[in-house]
């Protein structure tokens, strides 16, 4: 699995042109599922995201987690995180997981987030979405479970 995590002061999503969820301070998590991912991969990635200490403490150091600050999360499925651009100029997405399995694992990730956080919003798997956010910092982290 791959996740692009942006620390935000606020974010919102529209799905197929219809306004969706809104969050305050927390993370926008763009989530991609690969071929070899399973429930263990979901757990591994969520535990890393949950424990990331990228919020500032009283001394201004990045030392607090999303849970520590009572932060929100907006989780958006994004298969394009598996884009392969090695050949030519048109990305290939053959490394992305098959849609049915990818959706199941995306939903499992969302459920883990909801079990640990007070406020979680989502996009809609496979839909056309528009995400608006205010990147705080900016602070952006790339996680790939193959590298964790």
Which residues are catalytic, by number? 78-80
Tokens (6 digits) for 134 = 């205010």
Tokens (6 digits) for 114 = 């909801």
| Phi-psi category of residue 60: left, alpha or beta, with phi > 0 → left and psi -120 to 50 → alpha | left
Q: Give the H or E element holding residue 129.
A: strand 129-144
Which string of b and e fits 36-69 if b means at least 16 CB within 10 Å? ebeeebbebbbeebbebebbbeeeeeeebebeee
DSSP state at residue 54? -
């Amino acid at each position: 699995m791959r996740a692009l995590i942006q620390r935000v002061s606020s974010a919102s999503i529209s799905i197929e042109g219809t306004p969706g969820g809104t969050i305050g301070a927390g993370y926008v998590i763009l989530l991609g599922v690969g071929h070899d991912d399973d429930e263990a991969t979901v757990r591994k990635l969520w535990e890393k995201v949950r424990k990331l200490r990228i919020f500032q403490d009283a001394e201004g150091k990045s030392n607090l987690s999303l849970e520590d600050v009572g932060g929100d999360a907006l989780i958006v499925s994004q298969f394009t995180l598996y884009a392969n651009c090695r050949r030519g100029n048109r990305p290939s997405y053959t490394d992305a997981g098959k849609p049915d399995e990818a959706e199941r694992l995306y939903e499992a990730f969302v459920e883990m987030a909801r079990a640990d956080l007070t406020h979680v919003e989502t996009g809609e798997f496979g839909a056309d979405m528009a995400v608006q956010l205010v990147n705080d910092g900016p602070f952006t982290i790339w996680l790939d479970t193959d590298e964790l």
